[in-house]
Amino acid sequence: MEDMMSSLKDTYRLYAPKRFPDGSIRYGEIDSLSEIVVDEKSHFSPKEVYLPIVQTIFYFKDNQCEESEIEDGRDILIFARACDISAIERLDTIYLKNGGAQDFYYKRLRDKVKFVLIECPESFDSCFCVSMGASITDNFIGILRDGKIDTKSEPVFVSENKKSVTIPDIDESIVKDVIQLEYWRSFDENCAGCGGCTAVCPTCSCFDTIDVIYSETSLDGERRRVWGSCMQEDFSAMAGGHNVRKRVGDRMRFKVMHKIYDFHQRFGETHMCVGCGRCDERCPKDIVFSDIINTLAGKVEQLKAEGGAGR
C-alpha cells in the first residue's frame, strides 16, 4: 500500500474528504487512503480543488502583467461521490461551454483532474441525487473499495433517496408569473442571505475579482479571483448605488431558478443542481432546498390551472 501511494503521488496530487482539526469534513491533500472519510458526507464539495476559493490569476507591475502559474505540475486525483463527479460536468458547462470562450484558469486545472469513485451503498438523509439524474457516473478511473483502489469491479450506485423532488414544469409562457410569485417574499424574512448554501454547493460558480496592491506607494500587485455568492447583497450591487436584487427573496428566486430552470433552458442538458443536499445541512435558518423545489412545482401547476390568473 505504501508503494502504491508513493507511486500515485509521483503522478498525482491526491485529494479526498478528510476530517480537519475543527471537526469539519472537507477536501484536502491526503498521504494515506485511511485518511478518507467515507461513512459521512463531506460538508464541502471537491469544487475548491479545481475552482480554488482564492486564486491569483495574474501579477501586475507598473504597466506589465504576468500570468500566474500552477506551482505543482502533477495531475490531480480526487476521491468523490457520484453527485460531486456529476457536478463537475455542470461546472464544465459554465466555464468551458458558455458564450463561446473557455475560461483559461478553470481549464488549466480542470484538464488535470481525474476521479476515483466513492460509492454510496445507501443515500444520506438530505440527498435527492436520483431525482436530479446525478446519482450515476462513468467518469472515474477506479473505485475506492475495502481500503484500496479497485479498477476492475462494477460500481454500486444508489437507486433511490429518502427525498425526491418534482422539477417545476416551467415554460417561457409562465416564467414571468413564476418570477412574480408572492412565495419569494417569504424569504425576505426567512433567509439570512449569508451565502452558506452557495459555499458548500458543488455547482455554484459565481466569483468576484479583487486587486491586491502590495504597498500604499507601489503599483505592484496581483489580481485574485475569489468565490462570490448570489445570495449576498453586495454581489448584485452596481455603480451608482443600484442593486438589482436587493431583497433576499429576489436573490433566492435567482438562485433557485438558476439551479432548476435557467441552466437547463440555456444549455439544454441537465439541471444545474445535483441534489447533494449540502445546502440544507449548512443553512442556519433550516431552509430546505428540496422543499422549495417541490413547493415551486405545486405553485407552477396552480398557475397553469388558473390559466395564468395574476399574470
Residues that bind ligand SF4 (CB under 6 A): 191-197, 200-203, 231, 259, 273-279, 282-285, 287, 289
Q: Which is nearer to ligand SF4, 149 or 198 (CB)?
A: 198
141-167 per-residue burial string, b: 16 or more CB within 10 A, e: under 16: ebbbbeeebeeeeebebbeebebebeb
- C-beta of 286: minimal distance to ligand SF4 in Å? 8
Whether 135 and 82 have beta carbons less than 8 Å apart is answered as yes
- C-beta of 49: minimal distance to ligand SF4 in Å? 16
- C-beta of 282: minimal distance to ligand SF4 in Å? 6
Residue 78 is inside which H or E element, if any?
strand 75-80
Q: Which is nearer to ligand SF4, 91 or 178 (CB)?
A: 91
Q: Which is nearer to ligand SF4, 108 or 282 (CB)?
A: 282
* Other Cβ atoms within 10 Å of 97 Cβ, number: 12
**Within 13 Å, how many C-alpha atoms sit on residue 106's CB side?**
21
Tell me the β-bridge partners of 230.
none
Query: What one-character DSSP code corresponds to residue 237?
Result: B
- C-beta of 195: minimal distance to ligand SF4 in Å? 5
Q: Which is nearer to ligand SF4, 246 or 311 (CB)?
A: 246
| Locus of grid cell 469513485 | 117
- C-beta of 147: minimal distance to ligand SF4 in Å? 28
Q: Which is nearer to ligand SF4, 181 or 197 (CB)?
A: 197
- C-beta of 273: minimal distance to ligand SF4 in Å? 3
208 closest CA partner among 224, 232, 231: 224
Q: Which is nearer to ligand SF4, 33 or 94 (CB)?
A: 94
Q: What are phi and psi of 80, to 5 degrees?
A: -150, 160
- C-beta of 205: minimal distance to ligand SF4 in Å? 11
The runs of H, that is alpha helices, within 180-232 are 186-190, 196-200
What single letter denotes the amino acid at residue 18? K
CA atoms of 11 and 107, how far apart (whole Å): 19
Q: Which is nearer to ligand SF4, 33 or 137 (CB)?
A: 137
